[in-house]
Amino acid sequence: MTHGRPLLNRRLTEFGTTIFAEMSALAVRTGSINLGQGFPDTDGPEEIREAAVRALRAGHGNQYPPGPGVPELRSAVTEHQRRHYGLEYDPDTEVLVTTGATEAVAASLLALLEPGDEVIALEPYYDSYAACIAMAGGTRVPVTLRPDDGAYRLDLDELRAAVTPRTRLILLNTPHNPTGTVLTRDELAAVAALACERDLLVVTDEVYEHLVFEGEHIPLASFPGMRERTVTVSSAGKTFSLTGWKIGWITASPELVTAVRSAKQFLTYVSGGPFQYAVADALRLPDSYFDALREDLRAKRDLLSAGLTEAGFEVYEPAGTYFVTTDIRPLGETDGFAFCRALPERCGVVAVPNAVFYDHREQGAPFVRFAFCKRTDVLTEAVSRLKGLRAA
């Protein structure tokens, strides 16, 4: 306190320490297997890490790179969008390199919102969204994905009903963390039609674009009328198992890129020079890389899902991402927070309660998320520990 006021401003008071910090500390203290936080336990391709070393040694990017990102990476991003989705972007005016997807989302919201603007976000949502909306002075309007017949689905009528004259943008995320839902072509077409009809902007977080096991990832920007109103966000962290590099990017119209850059330049100005060159190489890896990543994670999804089912959880098998959401009620539990706080002591595994991803915490109370971006032997050991739960 100073001058009788709390140090943290009131926009951020509701965002204390993240659950990930608490759970990861618990994992270390108890020597548990950490399936809480979504980071891989093996590093991305050696040739890409070597490319970063080469860039460092050659003096590429050791000083401030250009504000929009190095031209090599901006070109690689546009090639990637063309190769995978047939989307055309101009590397000079329609790409901005950011410090991970986290900064891309933050800068987009800071740039595009006025205080009081409403932002519709799919609940449960990735925890930085609520904080960034708050920092930008916006008001979040959650639209809840509901579990139905083994998967979480978006209710399009609810989405439509959430739009008011104050709605400025929809903050979308597909493939969706934490539920693993991949929005279908029809759902995305409906979101696009709504955005056009109500003249809304969309910021779409597509960091799990290459981790789709069922269905396909379709960028929202590919729908009619969406290219001019969509900021598409992605990053190298998930696709190349390099979450510590924090290289992300947006693709959008020149006007949107200019707006987002105005905010980004005063957050970090630029990011990770040498890593940008290496990520350019990563984006150009052959299809076999992307296929192998997906198949590896599909096998891990199946292993963990089957193990959790056997251990007594109800499992929402994800169509995408590297998270699986479970319902703990079949185990006789109802409070995900209490369950996750006790789990390390009970069986040496860490997970996170989905309630932290909700405004309507009660909606998420009995759900718990496990990450499967871990080595097979680690997942096998976690499953065998979890199977002891019912006996314990």
Ligand X SMILES: Cc1ncc(COP(=O)(O)O)c(C=O)c1O
- Is the CB of 100 or the CB of 318 nearer to ligand X? 100
- Is the CB of 271 or the CB of 385 nearer to ligand X? 271
State residue 301 phi and psi, 5-degree precision.
Answer: -60, -45
- Is the CB of 109 or the CB of 389 nearer to ligand X? 109
- Is the CB of 195 or the CB of 203 nearer to ligand X? 203
Q: Which residue is closest to ligand X by CB?
A: 100
CB-facing half-sphere around the CA of 19: CA atoms within 13 A: 23
Q: Considering the complex, what minimum distance in angstroms separates the CB of residue 322 from ligand X?
A: 9
Helical packing angle, 19-30 and 336-347, nearest 10°: 20
Q: Considering the complex, what minimum distance in angstroms separates the CB of residue 175 from ligand X?
A: 8
Binding site for ligand X (CB under 6 A): 38, 100-102, 126, 173, 177, 205, 207, 235, 237, 243, 246, 248
Q: Considering the complex, what minimum distance in angstroms separates the CB of residue 283 from ligand X?
A: 14
Q: How far, in Å, CA of 183 to CA of 199, rounded?
A: 21
Q: Are 70 and 280 in contact (CB under 8 A)?
A: yes
Q: Are 143 and 280 in contact (CB under 8 A)?
A: no
State residue 75 phi and psi, 5-degree precision.
Answer: -65, -40
Q: Considering the complex, what minimum distance in angstroms separates the CB of residue 38 from ligand X?
A: 5
Q: Considering the complex, what minimum distance in angstroms separates the CB of residue 205 from ligand X?
A: 5
Q: Considering the complex, what minimum distance in angstroms separates the CB of residue 105 from ligand X?
A: 7
**Residue 58: other Cβ atoms inside 10 A:** 11
- Is the CB of 65 or the CB of 100 nearer to ligand X? 100
Q: Which two tokens stand for residue 74?
A: 């901006």
**Residue 148: other Cβ atoms inside 10 A:** 10
- Is the CB of 38 or the CB of 274 nearer to ligand X? 38
Q: How far, in Å, CA of 365 to CA of 363, rounded?
A: 6
